[in-house]
Amino acid sequence: MSHPDHYLLAGVMGWPVMHSRSPKLHNYWLARHGLIGAYVPLAIKEAGLEKALRALPALGFAGCNLTIPHKEQAMKIVDHLDPVAKRIGAMNCVIVGADGSLSGTNNDGFGYIASIREAKPDWRADAGPVTVLGAGGAARAVLVSLIDEGAKDIRLTNRTAARADDLAKEFGGPIKTIAWNDRHDALQGAAMVINTTSQGMVGQPDLDLKLDLLPQTALVSDIVYIPLETPLLSAARQRGNTTVNGLGMLLHQARPAFNAWFGVMPEVTSELRKMIEATI
Ligand code: ATR
């Protein structure tokens, strides 16, 4: 029997990192595609990031994902940074080039849109107003992806108004900001509403949002995935809205990374989804 000339390697760098579901996800795909290799958690503190990233080529890693606290700092270290990561202002994926150089990208926006299309294949960003709650790091990835998908009317509201105003200035175009106190009214006539805040996550209070004015045809998306059904999604489902939880974004952002490292674009199967859901 012939042996491959090297063991495929990738991983996720972060601190803490042991809670990450990415190893389960990528190791599932490695096995499914008959690839000999492993995706491992790399427990790296902030001070060790540069050395750890520079060690990847020598160790034969195809690349890695990045999680807290490395997503911004890594942008200053890599040799090439793609425009999407620059606009999002964070990277979540490193690809080692044939020459040992490091390229940074961010697949969160891709993952977000793919998760929406999985739930609603005919979804369009320009189908009507999109109300986005929150203006943190997650909101940046969602907003960039909505703009790139052709959204024409984005209503952005955040507890701290200045952060929403800054994002509207930076990304321009279709974003209009709305005062946090007026967020309930910002659902009137919306085709979609997206929670990018931490509210509704396990251990956090529920998102305080009255859905009365939201059309029943609107899609309701929450990027939180612990719990899988947040109080927002539960309330939306009970009144007849289609809902999308945040797990799809996590699953789908991993696909282009796997493809860049190992040359196969993997699928999010129902078996994979169930396997990850069982860990939540
Ligand atoms: P992430 O990178 O995960 O988006 P973040 O940058 O800390 O994290 O952003 C968290 C988001 O949740 C922000 O929009 C935050 O609002 P502020 O900008 O006002 O902080 C929002 N958020 C956190 N706690 C909140 C609360 N109690 N009520 C409303 N929004 C809240």
Task: For residue range 63-73, list pLDDT tens digits in order.
Answer: 999 999 999 99
Residue-level length of the chain: 280
Does the beta carbon of 32 sit less than 6 angstroms from any atom of ligand 1?
no
Q: What distance in Å separates the CA atoms of residue 193 and residue 100, rounded to the nearest whole number? A: 42
pLDDT in tens, 129-157: 999 999 999 999 999 999 999 999 999 99
- pLDDT at residue 229 greater than cutoff 80: yes
136 Cα: distance to centroid of ligand 1 (angstroms): 6
Query: What's domain 8-106+251-277's superfamily in CATH?
Result: Leucine Dehydrogenase, chain A, domain 1 (3.40.50.10860)
Residues annotated as part of the active site:
71
Task: Quickly name the fold that domain 109-245 has.
Answer: Rossmann fold (3.40.50)
pLDDT of residue 2: 62
Burial of 20 (0-12, 13-18, 19+ CB in 10 A): buried
Q: How confident is the model at residue 78 (pLDDT cuts 50, 70, 90)?
A: very high
Mean pLDDT of 79-88: 98
How far apart, in whole angstroms, are the C-alpha atoms of residue 109 and residue 191? 19
Ligand 1 centroid to residue 197 C-alpha, Å: 5
Residues of the chain with CATH 3.40.50.10860: 8-106+251-277
pLDDT score for 152:
98
pLDDT for residue 3 is more than 80: no
- Give the mean pLDDT of the chain: 97
Q: Is 160 in the pocket of ligand 1 (CB under 6 A)?
A: yes
Regarding the beta carbon of 159 and ligand 1, being less than 6 Å apart is answered yes
User: What pLDDT is recorded for position 51?
Assistant: 98
* Positions of CATH 3.40.50.720 in the chain: 109-245
Q: What is the pTM of this model?
A: 0.97
172: pLDDT strictly greater than 90: no
